[in-house]
Amino acid sequence: MKKAFWIVFLILVLDQVLKIWIKSTFYLGESHPVIGHWFYLHFTENEGMAFGMKLGGQWGKLMLSIFRLFAIVAIFIWLYNVTKKGAGNLLIVCIALILAGAIGNILDSAFYGLFFSESSFMQLATVFPKGGGYASFLHGKVVDMFYFPIIETHFPHWVPIFGGDELVFFRPVFNVADSAITTGVLMLIVFQKKVFPGAGSEVAK
C-alpha cells in the first residue's frame, strides 16, 4: 500500500502545483510553445470531464462531481483489496494511477471555485478573492494545459462535409490527472493477461 500511496501522492503534487501555477499566472486561452509547434502550455478550463468534454448545466456538473466522488471511493476500495490480496505491482500501479487522476480532477471541481476568482482573457485569477470564488462547492472548473497539435492542416476540398475545414491532431487539451487516468487504463488493457492472470481461463471454463 505504501507504493500506491507514493504514486498517488506524487501525481497529485505534480498535478496541483502545475494547475495552480497555470491558473494564477496565465490568462484564459494564453498559450506558450514548449517544444516547437507541436507542444504548448495552453490554459483552458472545462466542466470536469476528461479532455475538455462537457456535461451540460449546473445539475449535470453536480451529478458528474458526485459520480466522481463515488468512483474515487470504489477505486480506493479496489486498490485496498488487491493490495491486501498480494496483487502484483503492475496492477497496483495501474489502479494507483487511475485513483490519482480521479482525485486530481475532483479537487479542481470541489475547491477551485471556492478559492479562485474567475479566469478570463483579460484578467488573471486571484487566490481567495475578497468577494469569494467564482463558483460553489463541487461546481468548479478543471484546469487543463497540455496541448499537442502534432498535425495542423486542412481537409482536402474533395472530402465530403469536412472539405476545406481545419484539421488538428491532437486537438483536446488535458492535464496531469487526465494523463494518469489514461495511462492506468491503457496499461490495464495492454497488460491484462499479466494484471489479471487466469481471467481468460475462467472465462473459457
Q: Which tens digit of pLDDT belongs to each residue from 104-123? A: 999 999 999 999 999 999 99
d(CA 147, CA 36): 12
**Residue the block writes with cell 471541481:** 109
pLDDT of residue 204: 43
Q: What is the pLDDT of residue 195?
A: 82
Query: Given this model, what pLDDT does residue 47 score?
Result: 73
Instruction: Look at the chain and report how many structural domains it folds into.
Output: 1
Q: Is 33 helix (H, G, I), strand (E, B) or coil?
A: strand
Residue with cell 489479471: 196
The C-alpha cell of 29 is what?
486561452
pLDDT at 26: 98
Structural domain for 91, as ranges: 2-204
Structural contact between residues 116 and 21, judged by C-beta atoms closer than 8 angstroms: no
Q: Which residues have a catalytic role annotated?
A: 144, 178
Peptide bond into 170 cis (omega under 30): yes
Q: What per-residue confidence (pLDDT) applies to 49?
A: 56
Place of cell 477551485: 112
* Model confidence pLDDT, tens digit, residues 171-205: 889 999 999 999 999 999 999 888 887 665 544 44
Q: pLDDT per position in the chain (205 positions), as tens?
A: 888 999 999 999 999 999 999 999 999 999 999 998 889 999 999 875 554 455 556 677 778 888 889 999 999 999 999 999 888 899 999 999 999 999 999 999 999 999 999 999 999 999 999 989 999 999 899 999 999 987 777 788 888 887 888 777 778 899 999 999 999 999 999 998 888 876 655 444 4
